[in-house]
Structure 1
């Protein structure tokens, strides 16, 4: 995430846009050749969004919705890791934002019609800046799986959405994190659009017992690699920055 010219997407690494097992991709996928446009100075140098004015609970999804007055319901977890370049060097001061469903598998969104109840003390969003060595951390509850109207009985595995932003808005990357051992990962048509298993495996966070706290929470480690052969898979820019 450095200033400078944006690198075009490597389309060969991207999931197929039209996948019959992922029903909404049929309607959303383009049917004409894509047009690549040159980036502008505004996209390459700014503007910068959301890197200032952090609140003390922005990284704590268990308490931030209530302002610390009450805690969200669910399995408490720590999600942490580092944002790295292709040489394993930490990327400092990158903006990391997350959003997720609650412990019952429901988002706080007006169009989410799942039967699971909303948690009055859970908003489902948080943000933080990486530190000087690229480390980030969030306290949250483990999101629940939820059904979606794709095929007869499709369920999304538990997952957390992540957005990373560098010095300018044109350097925003988006991905998802899944949890080690979830049997729904291999049954998810959205995950299956990533045909290279080595890339989809990079989206699975292993359990990190070394950072778990006894009688309090489990930890999952999710390192995000921006470039190179071991880069994380990004929905909107597979080749990183």
Structure 2
């Protein structure tokens, strides 16, 4: 354990480029006005061992369909498949130096094909799908790969403006190698015309940052006559980190 602590304390994170990440206070994205920090950020320049180590998910028990949203919420009384475009979402979790992060927890949640979440506060008029829960999880393999099977989510209106719509997106939480590297982000789909119109996306000054949140169509990984595949790689810490809207 002492050797692990020493190795952890010898790690250092690459400092974020604050000009690349968006400001915490962005009036065009109205939610940021209330939740932007009023005090200085806390530096992790000299992190402790507890911030640089674990948790270890290798013994976490997964259900047989945890990463398959086509099957993990089937209606027991009227079982069927979810409505919508079937897709495969996959990619690698990497650290700040491009090395794979094995055995880390990746969680995701999303709206259904009509743009509605299975949440009691979602009042959008699109119907719920009795066979779609909209949540999944998996562990990365030895090389940092993860994979989900799901339905492409629909766009939906939100109260940021009179006629403001969120692009189709999937929320992703990934722990990375340690507590301090946990990332919550969202994945968009390449070619979506709503991406540049989104007030959240507009907080970014660099198109390259937007690209880190955009999944790419991968026909080689698609399943003929079944599902298209989208690749979304995630960098959990450092100057190459996938954009996270609150940082």
TM-score grouping bracket, smaller chain normalisation? 0.7 to 0.9
TM-score (norm 2): 0.84
Equivalent residue runs for 1:4-43 within 5 Å: 4=9, 7=13, 10=16, 11-36=18-43, 41-43=49-51
Q: Which residue of 2 aligns with 1:61?
A: 69
CA distance in 2, matches of 1:171, 1:89: 14
Is the Cα contact below 8 Å between 1:62 and 1:122 reproduced in 2?
Answer: yes
Structure 1 residue 174: Cα displacement = 1.2
Asked if the contact 1:99/1:125 (under 8 Å) is kept, the reply is yes
Distance 2:43 2:240 in 1: 26
Aligned partners of 1:142, 1:95: CA distance in 2, in Å? Answer: 22
Rounded to whole Å, the distance in 2 between the matches of 1:171 and 1:231 is 10
Question: Where in structure 1 are there 5+ consecutive unaligned residues?
Answer: none
Residue from 148, 160, 168 that aligns with 1:138: 148
Change (3 A) 1:168 1:228: closer
For residues 1-241 of structure 1, the aligned pairs below 5 Å read: 3-4=8-9, 7=13, 10=16, 11-36=18-43, 41-47=49-55, 52-66=60-74, 69-227=79-237, 230-235=240-245
The normalised TM-score by structure 1 is: 0.86
CA contact (8 A) 1:207 1:219 kept: yes
- Counterpart CA distance in 2 for 1:221 and 1:200 is 15
Structure 2 CA distance for aligned equivalents of residues 30 and 153 of structure 1: 28
Q: How many residues align?
A: 236
Alpha-carbon offset, residue 48 of structure 1: 5.1
Q: Relative to structure 2, which stretch is displaced further, 102-111 or 41-50?
A: 41-50
Q: Are the equivalent residues in 2 in contact too, given 1:51–1:129 (CA < 8 A)?
A: no
Check whether the contact 1:95–1:164 (CA below 8 A) recurs between aligned residues.
yes
1:171 deviates by: 3.0
State how far apart, in whole Å, the 2-side matches of 1:50 and 1:100 are. 25
The answer to whether the 8 A contact 1:180-1:205 is kept is yes
Q: Distance in 2 between matches of 1:51 and 1:73?
A: 34
Deviations 1:202-241 (A, max 9, x none): 211111111111111111011113356544223455xxxx
Q: How many Å separate the matches in 2 of 1:24 and 1:91?
A: 32
Residues 74-117 of structure 1, C-alpha deviations (whole Å, 9 max, x = no match): 10000111112344432211111111111110111111111111
Once superposed, what is the RMSD of the aligned Cα atoms?
2.6
Provide Cα deviations, 1:38-71, integer angstroms capped at 9, x if missing partner. Answer: 7555444455579601011001011111289432
